Structure 1
C-alpha cells in the first residue's frame, strides 16, 4: 500500500489492532500501534487506552509492551489521561510491582490527577493476590484517610 502512495487509515488500524488483541497477539499489536503512530493517521488516546487495557488484563502482562505504548504516546506530544495512568498502574499491581506502581501514582499526582477508588482498589487487589493482606487493609485505611471512601468493590476484593 505504502509503495503505491496509499496510507493506512484509522479504521483499518482499529480493525487490525482489535483482531490482534482478540487473538492475544500483543507483541504484534504493540508493533502495529508504533507503526501507526509514525504515520499520518495516528491512533487516538482512547486507542492507546484500549491497547494498554488489553495488555493489562492478560494472564501475565508484559510490562515492556505497556511502556512501549506509553512512551510512543508521550513522544508524540499527547496529553496523558488518568485512564492511561490507571491502566499502567493496574499492569504493575497485577504482577506485584508495587514500588513501580507507587511511582506511577506519584507521576499521576504530579500531572494533576488524584488517586480514586479504582487506583486504590487495584493496589488492594494486587496485594491480596500476593497474599499481603495486612498491607491491603492498611491501604484501605489510607484510602479513607485521604477522603476517598472505599466502595463495595474495594471491600469485596479484601474479603
Structure 2
C-alpha cells in the first residue's frame, strides 16, 4: 500500500495487528504496534485493546500490564473492555492477586465486568477456596 502511495490509517493497522495476534505472531504484532509512531499514527483504545488481548492470550501478562500503564500515561483511557481482557488473562494464569487489584480499579472507575469474568471468579473460588475478600469483590459486580 505504501509503495503505491497509499497511507494506511489506524483502522488498517488495527486489522493488521489483530490478524498478527490471532495468528499468534506477537512479534509481528509488536512491530506494527510500536511502529505506529514512525507512521505518525497514534494508537487508540481499540489498538491498545487488540495488543493487550494478544499479549494476554500469549501468556505475556507482565507486558500486557506494562502496556496498560503506558496506555494511561499516553493519555489514552482504558475502557471496560480493556480491563475485562486483562483481568481474564490474569485469572486464567492463576494470578488472582493482580486480577483482584485490577477489579478494584474497575470498581473505582465504575466499569462493569462481564459474565466470563464472574464465571472465572466463581470457578476459582469453588476450586481454590478463595478468601472472603475475593467473594466480596465479586459481589460488587452482581
- Structure-1-length-normalised TM-score: 0.66
Segments of structure 2 that go 5 or more residues without pairing to the other structure are none
What is the Cα deviation at residue 105 of structure 1? 0.9
In the other structure, the counterpart of 2:30 is 30
Structure number with bigger Rg: 1
Change (3 A) 1:28 1:72: farther
What is the rounded CA distance, in whole Å, between the counterparts of 1:12 and 1:142 in structure 2? Answer: 39
Q: How many residues align?
A: 140
* Aligned partners of 2:87 and 2:102 also within 8 Å: yes
What is the Cα deviation at residue 24 of structure 1? 0.7
What is the Cα deviation at residue 85 of structure 1? 0.8
Change (3 A) 1:8 1:121: same
In the other structure, the counterpart of 2:99 is 101
- Kindly indicate whether residue 48 of structure 2 is the aligned counterpart of residue 48 of structure 1: yes
In the other structure, the counterpart of 2:9 is 9
Segments of structure 1 that go 5 or more residues without pairing to the other structure are 149-159
In the other structure, the counterpart of 1:78 is 76
